[in-house]
């Protein structure tokens, strides 16, 4: 089993735990008896979740509010986590957001910050905690990638590129970890009913997509945790998601890019 057993002297670090998939990862890991370290910007939500999970499961929960787009705040967070009483046995790099529109028309600051949250924070936290896991011969990392990472996506260019990084980095490191007792799993959801599309400024995007693709945060989190338990390299939370990923890998770009542009423009009414 790649997911370490619950241990009062250890904790599962979850970024983006204040909403959506991150909150569900926290609930489900807590139900398995794991202590938690929750990170996001909205402190009040993390405090409320921490209180609920301590009371329900008798686990230890630590909370850190941090803007992962802020270089200095990330450095302070890593320092505080390293100085913490409990070792990080499980790292869930989940925080992230997207945007929709033509890159040259989107606010540059938010696009650049997206790279810091979706890519740099995941990379830095992995660099900070993976070496100790390997030294101990035990640990699990779950990176939340996306189906968006399997092909370039016009009108969603930065987001798809960040998830391309997550998917590729995770598969490569997972292979390097063979035989170490530590696993890295990349979870690749399609559309999930969370605050994601609201944050991206496109309202109820899931509602405008084929129903068979839409999943709940709870089922996606469950697939990710089961993937960690099994020590899997890549997890699709359903068969349809797996099929879409394979299509993204195989369809020639000369066909995919114009088709994707048309679909995006129709879906987004642009
Ligand atoms: N929903 C989908 O359709 C979908 C599909 C594929 C992959 N994903 C991926 O799944 C992951 C979770 O997304 P979700 O769907 O659960 O979206 P969500 O409901 O919007 O949750 C996003 C989480 O990320 C945190 N976050 C965003 N910016 C942050 C920042 N600057 N600093 C710290 N935390 C930040 C948010 O916390 P605060 O706002 O409190 O900081 C929140 O907890 C993301 O990596 C996303 O790319 C989502």
Ligand 1 atom, smallest distance to 67 CA: 32
**Does 34 have pLDDT greater than 70?**
yes
Is the CB of 221 inside a 6 Å radius of any atom of ligand 1?
no
Ligand 1 centroid to Cα of residue 142, in Å, is 14
Residues 19-45 have a mean pLDDT of: 98
Residue range(s) defining the domain that contains residue 31 = 10-267
Percentage of the chain beyond pLDDT 90 is 93
Please list the alpha-helical segments (H only) found in 144-238: 157-176, 196-199, 217-229
In a domain? residue 249: yes
Q: What is the pLDDT of residue 210?
A: 72
Contact 10, 136 (CB under 8 A): no
Q: Whose CA is nearest to atom 28 of ligand 1?
A: 96
Contact 65, 45 (CB under 8 A): no
Which is nearest to 98 in space by CA: 148, 152, 141, 165? Answer: 148
**Does 108 have pLDDT greater than 90?**
yes
Contact 26, 51 (CB under 8 A): no
**Does 91 have pLDDT greater than 80?**
yes
Q: What is the pLDDT of residue 1?
A: 60
The catalytic position among 100, 129, 150, 159 is 159
Is the CB of 161 inside a 6 Å radius of any atom of ligand 1?
no
Q: What is the pLDDT of residue 206?
A: 67
In a domain? residue 246: yes
In a domain? residue 1: no
DSSP string, 239-260: HHHHHHHHHHHHS-HHHHHHHH
Is the CB of 70 inside a 6 Å radius of any atom of ligand 1?
no
Is the CB of 117 inside a 6 Å radius of any atom of ligand 1?
yes
Contact 257, 152 (CB under 8 A): yes
In a domain? residue 4: no
Contact 173, 123 (CB under 8 A): no
pLDDT digits (tens, 9 = 90+) for 200-257: 999 877 666 777 788 999 999 999 999 999 999 999 999 999 999 999 999 999 999 9
Is the CB of 93 inside a 6 Å radius of any atom of ligand 1?
no
Tokens of 263: 């679909």
Ligand 1 atom, smallest distance to 41 CA: 41
159 part of the active site? yes
Ligand 1 centroid to Cα of residue 135, in Å, is 30
Backbone angles phi, psi at 221, to 5 degrees: -65, -40
Q: How many CA atoms lie within 13 A of 144 on its CB side?
A: 31
Q: What is the DSSP letter of 76?
A: H
Is the CB of 101 inside a 6 Å radius of any atom of ligand 1?
no
In a domain? residue 55: yes
pLDDT digits (tens, 9 = 90+) for 109-167: 999 999 999 999 999 999 999 999 999 999 999 999 999 999 999 999 999 999 999 99
The domain that contains 159 carries what CATH number?
A: 3.40.50.720
Ligand 1 atom, smallest distance to 163 CA: 47
Ligand 1 centroid to Cα of residue 127, in Å, is 21
Q: How many CB atoms within 10 Å of residue 253?
A: 10
In a domain? residue 58: yes
CA–CA separation, 111 and 143 (whole Å): 20
Q: How many CB atoms within 10 Å of residue 195?
A: 12
Tell me the best of 20, 72, 203 to mutate to test the pocket of ligand 1, counting ligand atoms within 8 Å of each CB and taking the most: 20
Mean model confidence pLDDT for the chain: 96
Ligand 1 centroid to Cα of residue 97, in Å, is 5
In a domain? residue 77: yes
Q: Is 63 exposed, middle or buried (CB count within 10 Å of its CB: 0-12, 13-18, 19+)?
A: buried
Q: What is the DSSP letter of 204?
A: S
CA–CA separation, 171 and 87 (whole Å): 25
Q: How many CB atoms within 10 Å of residue 178?
A: 10
CA–CA separation, 150 and 146 (whole Å): 8
CA–CA separation, 268 and 4 (whole Å): 43
Give the number of domains in the chain. Answer: 1
In a domain? residue 2: no
Ligand 1 centroid to Cα of residue 232, in Å, is 22
Q: What is the pLDDT of residue 175?
A: 98
């Amino acid at each position: 089993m790649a997911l370490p057993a619950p241990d009062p002297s250890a904790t599962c670090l979850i970024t983006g735990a204040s909403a959506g998939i991150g909150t569900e990862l926290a609930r489900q890991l807590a139900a398995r008896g794991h202590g938690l370290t929750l990170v996001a910007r909205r402190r009040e939500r993390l405090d409320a979740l921490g209180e609920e999970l301590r009371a329900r499961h008798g686990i230890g929960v630590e909370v850190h509010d941090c803007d992962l787009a802020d270089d200095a705040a990330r450095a302070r967070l890593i320092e505080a986590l390293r100085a913490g009483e409990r070792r990080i046995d499980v790292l869930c790099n989940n925080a992230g957001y997207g945007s929709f529109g033509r890159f040259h028309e989107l606010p540059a600051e938010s696009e650049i910050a997206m790279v810091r949250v979706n890519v740099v924070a995941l990379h830095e936290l992995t660099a900070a905690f993976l070496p100790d896991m390997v030294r101990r011969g035990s640990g699990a990392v779950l990176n939340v990638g996306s189906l968006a990472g399997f092909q370039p996506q016009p009108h969603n260019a930065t987001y798809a590129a960040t998830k391309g990084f997550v998917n590729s980095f995770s598969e490569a490191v997972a292979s390097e970890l063979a035989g170490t007792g530590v696993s890295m799993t990349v979870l690749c959801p399609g559309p999930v009913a969370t605050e994601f599309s609201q944050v991206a400024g496109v309202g109820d995007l899931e509602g405008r997509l084929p129903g068979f693709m839409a999943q709940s945060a709870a089922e996606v989190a469950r697939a990710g945790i089961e993937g960690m338990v099994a020590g899997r390299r890549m997890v699709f939370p359903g068969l349809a998601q797996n099929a879409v990923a394979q299509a993204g890998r195989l369809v020639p770009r000369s066909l995919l890019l114009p088709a994707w542009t048309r679909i995006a423009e129709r879906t987004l009414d642009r």
